[in-house]
Amino acid sequence: PANISKTYQLASTYCEPDSGPGRVLQILTHGVGFDRRYWDFPANGYNYSYVAPVVDDYGYSTFSWDRVGIAGSTHGDPINEIQGWLEVAALKALTDKLRAGTIPEVGTTFDKIVHVGHSLGTIHTFALTAAYPNISDGIVLTGFAPSFSSITALLLGGAFIQASDYAKGYFELSYEGAMEICFFAPGHFDPAILTSAYESSTPITVGELFTIGGEVAQLNTFAKPTFVIAGENDLIFCGGDCYATGNPELPSIPASFRALLPGATPFEAAVVNDTAHGMTLGYSHVEVTSKIQEFLGENGLANKASCS
């Protein structure tokens, strides 16, 4: 990793209930192929939005952001600058400011903060809490398992090419079928959502690819509520079957995260059937969202207001 000292602008979106800020904030970090719109996907009248029910039905505030170097955030050198640890540092800075209430556009503080990541965003969330175990009150790790044995599925299935409108060293999915291979479960998605996802997709940098492995190559002493959830058909991290552990005592590949988070209390892992890597974009997106909120609600991270 390179040592970087620079000021970055981070594109972000803050949402809160009509009745005012929730007492719990969810900080949402997206993964490869997307920007912050992954969490509030606009196609189909926002029917696939994670943010909408979380805010409107469960009463949380949410804060989503574009990773450094991607979409609306400051771009940079894709090899020596835009790396995993830089993005973790950005997430740390955002969290500190949100905890202190010093982001003017948010204008409030929160009783508790939960970090929710998807894919690369999960890797960053893990690395953040490994370095700063008290920075979060709970974490939700979606679309990732602590094994890179199937990562070639992303590299081959993605058929990456040099990204247009970005410097050399940024790579993007080359065609719509690559998005389908990497993110969608056959027969369990709306083709129009696939098209929208591909048309709004974002690149990954060489620097990210070379540094993300080190983010999870460590034990994490985080001791607070931890929920790991993945799609049954996740090709990138489960080889297409998240139940195929080869160990009768290990119920799923996501459950193997326990070995890296031995002190997480409570720790729970779940697999959503008929779902792939793009967990919020398949037909089972409602189940994905509800399982996350159920876990938070059962472990002291619900808002005071009940759903109606």
Tokens read off for 279: 């967990």
In a domain, 303, yes or no: no
Calpha distance 75→231 (Å, rounded): 31
In a domain, 67, yes or no: yes
Strand-pairing partners, residue 65, are 12, 29
So what's the pLDDT on residue 155? Answer: 78
> Mind listing the pLDDT tens digit for each residue in 112-133?
999 999 999 999 999 999 999 9
In a domain, 113, yes or no: yes
Does 246 have pLDDT greater than 80? Answer: yes
Does 190 have pLDDT greater than 80? Answer: yes
We report the CATH number of the domain holding residue 175 as 3.40.50.1820
- Torsion angle of C-alpha atoms 77, 81, 86, 90, degrees rounded to 10: -40
Q: What is the pTM of this model?
A: 0.95
In a domain, 306, yes or no: no
Continuous H helices in 78-119: 84-100
Counted residue by residue, the chain has a size of 308
Percent of the chain with pLDDT over 70: 97
Q: What angle do CA 180, 186, 191 make, to 5 degrees?
A: 60
Question: For the chain, how many structural domains are there in total?
Answer: 1
Pairing of strands 170-172, 204-205: antiparallel
Are the CB atoms for 243 and 232 separated by under 8 Å?
yes
So what's the pLDDT on residue 303? Answer: 83
- Which range marks the domain in which residue 178 is found? 12-298
